C-alpha cells in the first residue's frame, strides 16, 4: 500500500501560514481537567477549583491554550457531576462561584482560556425542575419538561419503549404514581424534553450566565442525544452501546435532524459575545454525519473519536486522518483530535492490550497476563507525537502528559461509576482513568492533596508524579513539553497536511512549516527519510537511519 500524495484541501478562509489570525480554537491545544481528581486544595480528598488555580503555572508552562473543565456544577455526583442539580452554582465540594470567577480571571492572566461543560440532555433528579415534576400531576406543565409517559401492558407496568440505558438496563424508571421517566444514562439523570420552549430558553439563559462570566467556550455533553422521536417507537436493535447505536440511520434518540435547529440558536447566543467564544460537541455519530454539526452556523468543533477507536494500523490511521481533515475543511472547520478522556481506558494501557481487543468490553477482571506494559507505553508516546503533529486542534486529558496507565485493579469497594452497579458488576466502568493525579512523590496521595484521594492511586505512582518526571529527558512529561513547544513553532502555524509516500506499516506526512512526522506501526524497523534533522523522537531509534517499531519521529 502507498499512502498516496493527496493534500487535504485548505478552506478558502484559512489565513496564510503563521499570520496568527486564525481563531485560537482552530489549532488550539486543550487540556481536559477532571476537576474531582486534578488537585485538592482543602484536603478533603476531592479535587477543587482552588487546587486547579494553584496549578495554573504548571499548565501555562506545559503550553496549553485552554482548559476544558468537566462539570463543576452543584450535583449529587451520581455520574461524576454529569447529573446537574443547579447549572448556575458550583458544587460545594469544588468551591463556590467566587472561586470559579477567580479561576477564569487568573487563567486569562496566564493566557489560558476556559471551556465549561454543558449538560443539556439530562438534569439530576435533584434539580428543582425534576422535584417539581415528581410532585405534579401527570399531564402537568412541570412533567412536560421531561419525557414522562404512561407505561405499557396491564396497569402500565411495562416501560413505554424497549430503549436501553447507556449504562445498562432499561432507559425508563417508574415514578410512585405509575408513570415512567426516560433516562438514557443513570436513573439519577432524567432526560429533558427539548421540544419544550421552557427548556430551550432556560439553557440559552444558562449559556449567557457563563458567557457573562467570561467563559471562552462550552463542551456540549451528549450533543447527539437531545431530540427523541415523538412517536417513541421501539428500537429493532436496542443496545446500550452509545457508539454502535448512534451510527444507525434515523435512530429514535441519537443524531436526529432536529438537533441542528437547537444548535443554531446556541450559536447565535455565542456570536452575540465578543472574543472567539466557541462550542465543541461530544457527538458520537458516523463520519458522514459529523460534518453536519460543524456547519458555519453550528458547532465550531466536534470531537473526532475515530483515532481513539482505531487499531494500531498505519492504513486505518491514514484513512481516518485523511477523511476527517477533508470533511472538516469542506465545512470550513478543522478536525478536533482526541486519544484519551474521562470515559475511556487510558491510552498507555489500551495500547498494551493485544491488537483487536475491544477495550470497552473489558470485563470486571483486569487485563492481567495479556497486557504488554512496555508496548503500551511505547505506543502511547508515539501516538502523542502523531496527535500533536496533526493539523487542527488536539485535546489531551489530565495525566496523559504523565503517561499514566489505567488503574485497573481498584478495589471493588471504591468503584463509583454507575456502570459498575448497572452492569450487575460485569463492567468496572471508568474509574480507572479518573484516579487523582500524582504531583510529587510521597504523602497520602503523592501531592494530590494533604489527605488520601477519593480513589486510591496504584503503587508506583510516586515515580509517575509531575515532580519526579520533571528534568528527566526520557520521561513522558518532558516528551509532551518538548512536543507542545515545537507544535507552537511548527505544527499549529497552518492547517496544511501533505502525505508522503510510505510503506504498509508507516505513516508519514509533512506540515506546511516543513515539519515531517513519521510513525512506524509495523513489527520491523523502517528507514527514516534521507534528509531531515530529527527534532524529537518518541523512543530510541534502531540505528542512525532507522525508525524502531512503535516509534514516532519529528523531522525538519
Ligand atoms: C458523556 C460524558 O463524557 C460521560 O462522562 C457521561 O457519563 C455521559 N455523557 C452522560 O452525561
pLDDT tens string 546-555: 999 999 999 9
Q: What does the pLDDT read at residue 240?
A: 60
Predicted confidence band at 127 (pLDDT cuts at 50, 70, 90)? Answer: very high
Q: What does the pLDDT read at residue 41?
A: 98
What CATH number is associated with residue 253? 3.20.20.80
- Minimal-distance CA residue to ligand 1 atom 6: 82
Point out the ligand 1 atom lying closest to the alpha carbon of residue 343: 5
Domain count, the chain: 3
* 253 lies in the same domain as 378: yes
* Exposure of 136 in the CB half-sphere (CA atoms within 13 A): 16
Instruction: Tell which one of 168, 343, 430 to mutate to probe ligand 1, the residue whose CB is within 8 A of the most ligand atoms.
Output: 343
Number of H helices, E strands in the chain: 15, 20
CA of 82 to the centre of ligand 1 (A): 6
Long-range contacts formed by 503-508: CB under 8 A, 24+ apart: 503/1, 503/2, 504/1, 504/314, 504/315, 505/314, 506/314, 506/547, 507/3, 507/314, 507/317, 507/318, 507/386, 508/3
Instruction: Tell which one of 33, 185, 189, 243 to mutate to probe ligand 1, the residue whose CB is within 8 A of the most ligand atoms.
Output: 185
CB 175 within 8 A of CB 137: no
Q: What does the pLDDT read at residue 427?
A: 87
C-alpha cell at 521: 506501526
CA of 158 to the centre of ligand 1 (A): 27
Cβ of residue 417 lying under 6 Å from some atom of ligand 1? no
For residue 2, tell me if it sits in a domain.
no
Mean pLDDT over residues 485-502, rounded?
A: 88
Mean pLDDT over residues 517-544, rounded?
A: 92
- Rounded CA-CA distance 228/253 in Å is 4
Q: What does the pLDDT read at residue 3?
A: 33
Look-up of cell digits 444548535: 263
CA of 513 to the centre of ligand 1 (A): 37
CA of 457 to the centre of ligand 1 (A): 23
Q: How far apart are the first and last CA of the chain?
A: 25
Point out the ligand 1 atom lying closest to the alpha carbon of residue 341: 3
Point out the ligand 1 atom lying closest to the alpha carbon of residue 167: 7
For residue 6, tell me if it sits in a domain.
no
Point out the ligand 1 atom lying closest to the alpha carbon of residue 184: 10
Instruction: Tell which one of 33, 72, 79 to mutate to probe ligand 1, the residue whose CB is within 8 A of the most ligand atoms.
Output: 79
CB 302 within 8 A of CB 281: yes
Q: What is the pLDDT of residues 190-215, one digit of tens each?
A: 999 999 999 999 999 999 999 999 99
Backbone dihedral angles phi then psi of residue 278, each to the nearest 5 degrees:
-140, 165
* Beta strand residue intervals within 111-159, DSSP E: 113-118, 148-149
C-alpha cell at 409: 485493579
* 262 lies in the same domain as 165: no
Q: What does the pLDDT read at residue 542?
A: 84
What CATH number is associated with residue 525? 2.60.40.1180
- Minimal-distance CA residue to ligand 1 atom 4: 343
Point out the ligand 1 atom lying closest to the alpha carbon of residue 119: 11
- Minimal-distance CA residue to ligand 1 atom 11: 82
Q: What is the pLDDT of residues 19-35, one digit of tens each?
A: 457 899 999 999 999 99
CA of 221 to the centre of ligand 1 (A): 7
| Alpha-carbon separation of residue 38 from 52, 210, 310, 457 (angstroms) | 7, 22, 28, 13
Cβ of residue 99 lying under 6 Å from some atom of ligand 1? no
Neighbours of 248 (CB within 10 A): 15
* 447 lies in the same domain as 502: no
* 133 lies in the same domain as 270: no
Q: What does the pLDDT read at residue 14?
A: 34
Q: What does the pLDDT read at residue 333?
A: 87
Cβ of residue 117 lying under 6 Å from some atom of ligand 1? no
* 399 lies in the same domain as 524: no
- Rounded CA-CA distance 556/534 in Å is 7
Q: Which residues are catalytic?
A: 221, 282
| Strands 278-281 and 301-302, sheet pairing | parallel
Predicted confidence band at 247 (pLDDT cuts at 50, 70, 90)? Answer: low
The chain-wide mean pLDDT, for the chain, equals: 92
* 479 lies in the same domain as 528: no
Q: What does the pLDDT read at residue 503?
A: 74
Distance of CA 327 to the CA centre of its chain: 20
Predicted confidence band at 1 (pLDDT cuts at 50, 70, 90)? Answer: very low
What CATH number is associated with residue 140? 3.90.400.10
CB 536 within 8 A of CB 555: no
User: Hey, what's the torsion of the CAs at 438, 441, 444, 450, to 10 degrees?
Assistant: -80
Q: What is the pLDDT of residues 251-269, one digit of tens each?
A: 999 999 999 999 999 999 9
- Minimal-distance CA residue to ligand 1 atom 2: 221
Cβ of residue 221 lying under 6 Å from some atom of ligand 1? yes
| Alpha-carbon separation of residue 424 from 168, 359, 368, 418 (angstroms) | 9, 18, 22, 10
According to DSSP, residue 336 is labeled: E
Closest CA to 259 of 226, 221, 295: 226
Q: Does pLDDT of 360 surpass 80? A: no
The β-bridge partners of 446 are none
Q: Does pLDDT of 87 surpass 90? A: yes
For residue 187, tell me if it sits in a domain.
no
Q: What does the pLDDT read at residue 238?
A: 64
Q: What does the pLDDT read at residue 364?
A: 56
- Rounded CA-CA distance 396/281 in Å is 16
For residue 301, tell me if it sits in a domain.
yes
Counted residue by residue, the chain has a size of: 556
For residue 18, tell me if it sits in a domain.
no
CB 132 within 8 A of CB 198: no
Reported pTM: 0.94
CA of 2 to the centre of ligand 1 (A): 39
| Strands 180-182 and 73-74, sheet pairing | unpaired
Q: Does pLDDT of 246 surpass 90? A: no
Q: What does the pLDDT read at residue 244?
A: 57
Last residue of a domain, one of 437, 452, 487: 487
CA of 167 to the centre of ligand 1 (A): 10
* 339 lies in the same domain as 390: yes
Cβ of residue 82 lying under 6 Å from some atom of ligand 1? yes
* 248 lies in the same domain as 352: yes
Q: What does the pLDDT read at residue 10?
A: 31
- DSSP alpha helices (H): ranges in 458-524? 466-469, 476-486
Cβ of residue 305 lying under 6 Å from some atom of ligand 1? no
Mean pLDDT over residues 442-457, rounded?
A: 97
User: Hey, what's the torsion of the CAs at 346, 348, 349, 353, to 10 degrees?
Assistant: 130
Domain containing 522 equals 496-555
* 278 lies in the same domain as 368: yes
For residue 323, tell me if it sits in a domain.
yes
C-alpha cell at 253: 434518540
CA of 324 to the centre of ligand 1 (A): 23
According to DSSP, residue 275 is labeled: S
Point out the ligand 1 atom lying closest to the alpha carbon of residue 122: 11
Instruction: Tell which one of 81, 83, 222, 416 to mutate to probe ligand 1, the residue whose CB is within 8 A of the most ligand atoms.
Output: 222
* 209 lies in the same domain as 263: yes
CB 528 within 8 A of CB 549: no
Q: What is the pLDDT of residues 505-516, one digit of tens each?
A: 999 999 999 999
Last residue of a domain, one of 155, 182, 209: 182
* 102 lies in the same domain as 132: no
CA of 343 to the centre of ligand 1 (A): 7
Backbone dihedral angles phi then psi of residue 466, each to the nearest 5 degrees:
-60, -40
| Alpha-carbon separation of residue 362 from 102, 170, 353, 430 (angstroms) | 41, 21, 10, 11
Angle (CA) 535 537 538, round 5° = 150
For residue 163, tell me if it sits in a domain.
yes
Neighbours of 137 (CB within 10 A): 9
- Rounded CA-CA distance 551/442 in Å is 32
Mean pLDDT over residues 348-353, rounded?
A: 93
Cβ of residue 343 lying under 6 Å from some atom of ligand 1? yes
For residue 344, tell me if it sits in a domain.
yes
CB 140 within 8 A of CB 198: no
Predicted confidence band at 287 (pLDDT cuts at 50, 70, 90)? Answer: confident
Q: What does the pLDDT read at residue 5?
A: 31
* 439 lies in the same domain as 518: no
Question: Angle at which helices 259-271 and 197-211 pack, to 10 degrees?
Answer: 30
> Which residues, 6+ apart, have CB-to-CB distance to 489 below 8 Å?
513
Amino acid at each position: 500500500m502507498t499512502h498516496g500524495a493527496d493534500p487535504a484541501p485548505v478552506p478558502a478562509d484559512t489565513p496564510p501560514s503563521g499570520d496568527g489570525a486564525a481563531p485560537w480554537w482552530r489549532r488550539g491545544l486543550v487540556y481536559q481537567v477532571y476537576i474531582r481528581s486534578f488537585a485538592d486544595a482543602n484536603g478533603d480528598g476531592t479535587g477543587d477549583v482552588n487546587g486547579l488555580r494553584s496549578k495554573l503555572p504548571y499548565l501555562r508552562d506545559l503550553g496549553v491554550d485552554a482548559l476544558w473543565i468537566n462539570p463543576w456544577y452543584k450535583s449529587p455526583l451520581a455520574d461524576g457531576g454529569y447529573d446537574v442539580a443547579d447549572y448556575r452554582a458550583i458544587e460545594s465540594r469544588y468551591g463556590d462561584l467566587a472561586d470559579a470567577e477567580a479561576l477564569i480571571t487568573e487563567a486569562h492572566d496566564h493566557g489560558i482560556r476556559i471551556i465549561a461543560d454543558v449538560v443539556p440532555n439530562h438534569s439530576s433528579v435533584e434539580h428543582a425542575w425534576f422535584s417539581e415534576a415528581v410532585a405534579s400531576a401527570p399531564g402537568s406543565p412541570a412533567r412536560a419538561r421531561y419525557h414522562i409517559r404512561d407505561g405499557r401492558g396491564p396497569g402500565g407496568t411495562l416501560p413505554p419503549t424497549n430503549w436501553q440505558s447507556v449504562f445498562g438496563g432499561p432507559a425508563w424508571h417508574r415514578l410512585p404514581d405509575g408513570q415512567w421517566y426516560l433516562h438514557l444514562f443513570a436513573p439519577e439523570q432524567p432526560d429533558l424534553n427539548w421540544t419544550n420552549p421552557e427548556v430551550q430558553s432556560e439553557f440559552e439563559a444558562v449559556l449567557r450566565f457563563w458567557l457573562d462570566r467570561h467563559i471562552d467556550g462550552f463542551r456540549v455533553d451528549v450533543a447527539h442525544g437531545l431530540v427523541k422521536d415523538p412517536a417513541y417507537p421501539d428500537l429493532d436493535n436496542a443496545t446500550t452501546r452509545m457508539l454502535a447505536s448512534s451510527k444507525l440511520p434515523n435512530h429514535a434518540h441519537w443524531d436526529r435532524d432536529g438537533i441542528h435547529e437547537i444548535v443554531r440558536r446556541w450559536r447565535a447566543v455565542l456570536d452575540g459575545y465578543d472574543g472567539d467564544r466557541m462550542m465543541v460537541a461530544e457527538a458520537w455519530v458516523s463520519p458522514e454525519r459529523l460534518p453536519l454539526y460543524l456547519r458555519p452556523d453550528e458547532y465550531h468543533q466536534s470531537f473526532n473519536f475515530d483515532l481513539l477507536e482505531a487499531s494500531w494500523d498505519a492504513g486505518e490511521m491514514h484513512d481516518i486522518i485523511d477523511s476527517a481533515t477533508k470533511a472538516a475543511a469542506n465545512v470550513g472547520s478543522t478536525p478536533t483530535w482526541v486519544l484519551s478522556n474521562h470515559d475511556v481506558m487510558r491510552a498507555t494501557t489500551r495500547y498494551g492490550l493485544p491488537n483487536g481487543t475491544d477495550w470497552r468490553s473489558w470485563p470486571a477482571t483486569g487485563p492481567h497476563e495479556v497486557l504488554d506494559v512496555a508496548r503500551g507505553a511505547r505506543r502511547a508516546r508515539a501516538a502523542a507525537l502523531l496527535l500533536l503533529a496533526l493539523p487542527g486542534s488536539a485535546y489531551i486529558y489530565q495525566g496523559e502528559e504523565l503517561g499514566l496507565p489505567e488503574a485497573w485493579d481498584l478495589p471493588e469497594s471504591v468503584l463509583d461509576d454507575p456502570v459498575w452497579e448497572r452492569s450487575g458488576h460485569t463492567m468496572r466502568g471508568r474509574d480507572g482513568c479518573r484516579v487523582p493525579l500524582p504531583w510529587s512523590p510521597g504523602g497520602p496521595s503523592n501531592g494530590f492533596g494533604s489527605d488520601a484521594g477519593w480513589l486510591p492511586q496504584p503503587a508506583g505512582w510516586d515515580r509517575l508524579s509531575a515532580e519526579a518526571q520533571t528534568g528527566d529527558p526520557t520521561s513522558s512529561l518532558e516528551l509532551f513539553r518538548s512536543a507542545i513547544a515545537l507544535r507552537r513553532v511548527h505544527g499549529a502555524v497552518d492547517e496544511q497536511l501533505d502525505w508522503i509516500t510510505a510503506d504498509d506499516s508507516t505513516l508519514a506526512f509533512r506540515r506546511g512549516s516543513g515539519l515531517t512526522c513519521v510513525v512506524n506501526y509495523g513489527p520491523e524497523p523502517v528507514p527514516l527519510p534521507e534528509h531531515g534533522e530529527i527534532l524529537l523522537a518518541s523512543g530510541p531509534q534502531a540505528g542512525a537511519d532507522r525508525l524502531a517499531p512503535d516509534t514516532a519521529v519529528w523531522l525538519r
